[in-house]
Amino acid sequence: MNFFNRSLILCFLSISLFSCMTAAESSTEKRVDALSSASWSDPELGEGFEEPPLPEIKTKGLTDQEINSMEVYRNNIRAIVNVTTINLYNSRFVGSYAQEGSGSGVIVSGLGYILTNKHVISDADYVVVTLYDGSNYQAKLIGSDAENDLAVIKFEPVGRGLQTIKAGSSKGLQVGQKVLALGNPFGLEGTLTTGIISGLNRPLQTEAGFLLKGMIQTDAAINPGNSGGALLNSRGELIGINTMIISPGGMGSVGIGFAIPVETALRIVPELIEAGRVNRGWIDIEALSLTPNLARQLKIPFIRYGVLITSVLAGGNAENAGLRGGTERRGVGLGLNSIAVGGDIITNINGKEIKNVLDYFSVLEVSRPGEEYDVVYLRDGRLESTSIILSERPQEFQF
């Protein structure tokens, strides 16, 4: 049984934002340790390999702000890579052809692990990373997470040293604070832009329709090709991963860009390294978003939003907790033949209001199998509650 129809999810989670994108193995323990917060504390420069020199900073006549920007750039640019993707296609009209895309990435381990956005490398047949010195390496996908639009790729450094960026914190950031963005906009490698924090804790949707919470808004110019690059504070610490922009008419940066907080990366990257995915909890139901129009058609009292359960998995955690699915099928003018109605309507999970499927997935994003979650639901005009031991998310919904 499919617990959520994938096409329904994408329909109910449609988005209106533009992303920035243009179009030797160690043991598991060693790989995970390499991406721990401790390993991000200091730059790693390997022995026996001399990096090309960076331009000398000449401070005469410069302001303290200018010197700070130059120092942050100089100390961190070697940890930024250009990510080039190649997709191969066949057409009956033009034959075989390749399409190239460009993005950015942040080296997070001397072992060759790179953090970027999932949408940068999504469905790519080949991924090539270009380092600061212009050298190119083929990379492979290690793991990705559509719900946070993050991915980890890896290349083999072949004995060379790699520089990483010290991880900072997005906690305690203030609107007006200076930030610096490093990346490769439009394929222009090694680009620095500066700005301020324009807003905090912005909820935004990814290309796949999932809700990103706690996003950092900045007016530092973020353009196509910047996706996966670094957002730094004035101390040169990584505070976010540049991810998307609002771009009316696809004009490029208009001063409204967004970065994923570094804490999100620190939380999920080790799991991507170890398992290739994030193992989240699940409630064994099939459901869809309740809208005001649907609530009126079904004559549902009191509420106009929630998640309507259309079916529950026999013997699953939802059935064991007493949740009920639909009892009859009815056409409701949603462009569907019919849906199962009469089931419970989830309105709250673990103290978080659930207004639609997007909220539902957002709450479960930080969950783990085996955790106990409290669920409030409407049944026969009355609000009731139950507790559910989360199961493991089915493979078909490992986005």
For residue range 236-273, list pLDDT tens digits in order: 999 999 998 776 655 555 678 899 999 999 999 999 99
Q: Which of 112-116, 161-165, 245-249, 311-315 has the lowest mean pLDDT?
A: 245-249
The fraction of the chain above a pLDDT of 70, given in percent, is 82
Residue 112 pLDDT greater than 90, yes or no: yes
- State yes or no: pLDDT of 157 exceeds 60: yes
pLDDT at 15 over 60: no
Q: Is 227 a catalytic residue?
A: yes
Residue 353 near residue 339 (C-beta atoms within 8 A): no
Q: What is the mean pLDDT of residues 208-218?
A: 86
Determine the pLDDT at residue 338.
81
How high is the pLDDT of residue 57?
80
**What pLDDT shows up at residue 44?**
44
Q: What is the pLDDT of residue 46?
A: 42
Measured CA to CA, the distance from residue 157 to residue 163 in angstroms comes to: 11
Q: Identify the weakest region by mean pLDDT among 42-56, 242-256, 274-288.
A: 42-56
**Lowest-confidence region among 45-49, 133-137, 312-316, 386-390:** 45-49
Q: Which of 39, 104, 119, 289 is catalytic?
A: 119
> Could you please report the per-residue DSSP string of 220-246?
S---TT-TT-EEEETTS-EEEEEEEE-
CB 175 within 8 A of CB 199: yes
Instruction: Give me the pLDDT at residue 397, please.
Output: 67
Cβ(168)–Cβ(241) below 8 Å: no
Tell which wins on pLDDT, 39 or 285: 285
User: Alpha-carbon distance 158 to 246, whole Å?
Assistant: 39
Q: Which domains can be identified in the chain, with CATH numbers?
A: 21-154 (2.40.10.10), 178-275 (2.40.10.10), 279-397 (2.30.42.10)
Q: What is the reported pLDDT for 248?
A: 60
Task: Count Cβ atoms within 10 A of the Cβ of residue 334 and give its class: 0-12 exposed, 13-18 middle, 19 or more buried.
Answer: middle
Q: What pTM was computed for the model?
A: 0.78
pLDDT at 298: 86
Whether residue 34 has pLDDT greater than 80: no
Is residue 391 a contact partner of residue 369, using CB atoms and an 8 Å limit?
yes
Residue among 109, 227, 289, 311 flagged as catalytic: 227
pLDDT classification of 348: cutoffs 50, 70, 90:
very high
pLDDT above 50 (res 3): no
- Choice among 149, 284, 344, 359 that is catalytic: 149
What's the pLDDT score for residue 52?
65
Looking at the predicted structure, is the pLDDT value of residue 152 above 70? yes
